[in-house]
């Protein structure tokens, strides 16, 4: 096994920079570039100790700083690790890294430290994936979810499910293979119940993927409504609420997002906002294919109505277009006398909120409505959620196999057939947590990481 090294801090000027070295020769290699003031070599120090001293290359002293020693298995990677902290100049850090490489280490690939942690059993694959999410977390909720995940919340949930399916499969095969033995027969109803419970767990996890994604990447949102209902005023109100700077997420192909606003943990990615301001005719605006396709892809539609006037034909046309979509009806101008029948609106939309965009009232109710609409209230990161496409694929495949097992049972097929599907489901769950993954999958997971992690 090679000893690897990389700069673990960002390639920028900062207070300190950390060069991480991991592998069987980490401490010996670090000794070649670091001399402690105490004179004790790092390779003779115990784990979890810090030494102050100087870094040097063949050409002389580079910098002074601190070296931390971690002893296998009690380190991030599970191997011997030295972390060398020098001054945070780009040149200094590179010079120390170069000295470490010259002393015998190889440059680490992106994510290779975390990959070693996974291969050494320090982390499951889903925990390792969560490390990438931790680094990328843009708000408190996403951070909370990533932390729970890194702590193994998803792994535990998957393991529980796998255990219960394994028990069932074991029972079934024993019973099929040794019919003459006195193994109590599983009652078909109880078997179907257990399978259905598994299906429920997987359905919950699959739903958590979308909700989790809303928190990480934001909610693709469209505001619609006829002219003068207050769409621009609402936009301005929302824009005024933007407190955190939200960065664009690389690799997400979406329509042009003109405004990204954040309401607490909710990040709304509002597109088509120019259309809101410029197009006078809502029927034309809503009738064109472009608007339709925006409605098709939107994850949330805020449909604005003027509360100070009864619903009219244009509103009804809009409501027709919105049928079956993720809509929250906003009765605006709540500061004026209410002339719109909220009941009439509630007959057509399952979520209706009264607010005043002008006065900025009703925002909290709107936030609650959004959370409820998108299932964010039900999201329990501590219980484990799916956070990558890879995890979702595995969960879907496990769900498909479980469903086949249930169908086979209901169709009165042999228990053999049920067992086969059950084992497929177990194998998909194994893959989800990295128990049985190909090298290609592992490499793909770690390619998302930065060098030095």
Q: Which residues bind ligand GDP (CB under 6 A)?
A: 225, 227-233, 276, 332-333, 335-336, 356-358
**By C-beta, is 17 or 319 nearer to ligand GDP?**
319
Greatest C-alpha distance within the chain? 86
Q: Which residue is nearest to ligand GDP (CB)?
A: 230
User: CB of 237: closest distance to ligand GDP in angstroms?
Assistant: 9
**By C-beta, is 172 or 366 nearer to ligand GDP?**
366
**By C-beta, is 224 or 437 nearer to ligand GDP?**
224
Q: What is the 3-state secondary structure (H, E, C) of the chain?
A: CCCEEEECCCCCCEEEEEEEEECCCHHHHHHHHEEECCCCCHHHCCCCEEEEEEEEECCEEEEEEEEEEECCCCCCCCCCEEEEEEEECHHHHHHHHHHHHHCCCEECCECHHHHHHHHCCCCCHHHHHHHHHHHHCCCHHHHHHHHHHHCCHHHHHHHHHHHHHHHHHHHHHHHHHCCCCCCCCCCHHHHHHHHHHHHHHHHHHHHHHHHHHHHHHCEEEEEECCCCCCHHHHHHHHHHCCCCCCCCCCCCCCCCEEEEEEECCEEEEEECHHHHHHCCCHHHHHHCHHHHHHHHHCCEEEEEEECCCCCCHHHHHHHHHHCCCCEEEEEECCCCCCCCCHHHHHHHCCCEEECECCCCECHHHHHHHHHHHCCCCCCCHHHCCCCCHHHHHHHHHHHHHHHHHHHHHHCCCCHHHHHHHHHHHHHHHHHHCCCCCCHHHHHHHHCCCCECC
**By C-beta, is 47 or 227 nearer to ligand GDP?**
227
User: CB of 285: closest distance to ligand GDP in angstroms?
Assistant: 11
**By C-beta, is 333 or 448 nearer to ligand GDP?**
333
User: CB of 335: closest distance to ligand GDP in angstroms?
Assistant: 5
User: CB of 283: closest distance to ligand GDP in angstroms?
Assistant: 14
User: CB of 276: closest distance to ligand GDP in angstroms?
Assistant: 6
User: CB of 244: closest distance to ligand GDP in angstroms?
Assistant: 25
**By C-beta, is 250 or 280 nearer to ligand GDP?**
280
**By C-beta, is 277 or 343 nearer to ligand GDP?**
277
User: CB of 350: closest distance to ligand GDP in angstroms?
Assistant: 23
- Whether the link from the prior residue into 73 is cis, omega within 30° of 0, is yes
**By C-beta, is 228 or 427 nearer to ligand GDP?**
228
**By C-beta, is 100 or 322 nearer to ligand GDP?**
322
First to last CA, the chain: 18
Q: Which of 193, 137, 131, 139 is nearest to 168 (CA)?
A: 193
User: CB of 294: closest distance to ligand GDP in angstroms?
Assistant: 16
User: CB of 323: closest distance to ligand GDP in angstroms?
Assistant: 21
For tokens 């209230």, what's the residue?
377
User: CB of 289: closest distance to ligand GDP in angstroms?
Assistant: 22
Q: Look at strands 81-88 and 60-70 and give their pairing.
A: antiparallel
User: CB of 291: closest distance to ligand GDP in angstroms?
Assistant: 15
**By C-beta, is 28 or 273 nearer to ligand GDP?**
273
**By C-beta, is 144 or 227 nearer to ligand GDP?**
227
Distance, in Å, from the CA atom of 347 to the CA atom of 369, rounded to the nearest integer, reads 17
Distance, in Å, from the CA atom of 320 to the CA atom of 286, rounded to the nearest integer, reads 11
């Amino acid at each position: 096994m090679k000893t690897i090294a990389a700069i673990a801090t960002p390639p920028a000027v900062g207070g300190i920079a950390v060069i991480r070295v991991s592998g069987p020769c980490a401490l010996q290699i670090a000794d070649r570039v670091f001399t402690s003031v105490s004179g004790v070599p790092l390779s003779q120090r115990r784990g979890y100790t810090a030494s102050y001293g100087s870094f040097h290359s063949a050409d002389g002293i580079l910098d002074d700083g601190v070296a931390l020693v971690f002893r296998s298995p009690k380190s991030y990677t599970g191997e011997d690790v030295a972390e060398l902290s020098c001054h945070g100049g780009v040149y200094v850090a590179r010079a120390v890294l170069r000295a470490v490489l010259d002393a015998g280490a190889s440059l680490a690939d992106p994510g290779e430290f975390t990959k070693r942690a996974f291969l050494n059993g320090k982390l499951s694959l889903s925990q390792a994936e969560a490390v990438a999410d931790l680094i990328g977390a843009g708000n408190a909720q996403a951070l909370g979810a990533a932390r729970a995940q890194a702590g193994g919340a998803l792994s535990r949930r998957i393991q529980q499910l796998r255990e219960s399916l394994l028990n069932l499969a074991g029972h079934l095969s024993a019973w099929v293979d040794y019919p003459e033995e006195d193994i109590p027969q599983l009652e078909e109803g109880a078997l179907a119940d257990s399978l259905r419970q598994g299906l429920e767990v997987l359905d919950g996890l699959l739903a958590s993927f979308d909700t989790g994604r809303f928190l990480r990447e934001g909610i693709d949102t469209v505001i619609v409504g006829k002219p003068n209902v207050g769409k621009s005023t609402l936009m301005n109100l929302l824009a005024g609420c933007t407190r955190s700077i939200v960065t664009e997420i690389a690799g997400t192909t979406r329509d042009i997002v003109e405004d990204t606003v954040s309401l607490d943990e909710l990040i709304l990615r509002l597109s088509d906002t120019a259309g809101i301001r410029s197009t006078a005719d809502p029927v034309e605006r809503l009738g064109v294919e472009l608007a339709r396709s925006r409605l098709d892809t939107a994850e949330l539609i805020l449909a604005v109505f003027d509360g100070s006037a009864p619903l009219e034909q244009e509103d009804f046309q809009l409501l027709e277009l919105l049928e079956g979509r993720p809509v929250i009806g906003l009765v605006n101008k709540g500061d004026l006398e209410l002339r719109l029948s909220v009941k009439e609106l509630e007959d057509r939309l399952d979520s209706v909120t009264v607010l005043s965009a002008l006065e900025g009232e009703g925002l909290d109710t709107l936030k609650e409505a959004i959370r409820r609409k998108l299932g964010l209230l039900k999201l329990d990161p501590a219980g484990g959620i799916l956070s990558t496409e890879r995890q979702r694929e595995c969960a879907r495949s496990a769900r498909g196999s479980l469903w086949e097992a249930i169908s086979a049972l209901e169709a009165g097929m042999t228990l053999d057939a049920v067992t086969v599907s059950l084992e497929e489901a177990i194998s998909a769950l194994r893959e989800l947590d990295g128990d049985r993954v190909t090298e290609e999958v592992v490499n793909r997971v770690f390619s998302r990481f930065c060098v030095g992690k």
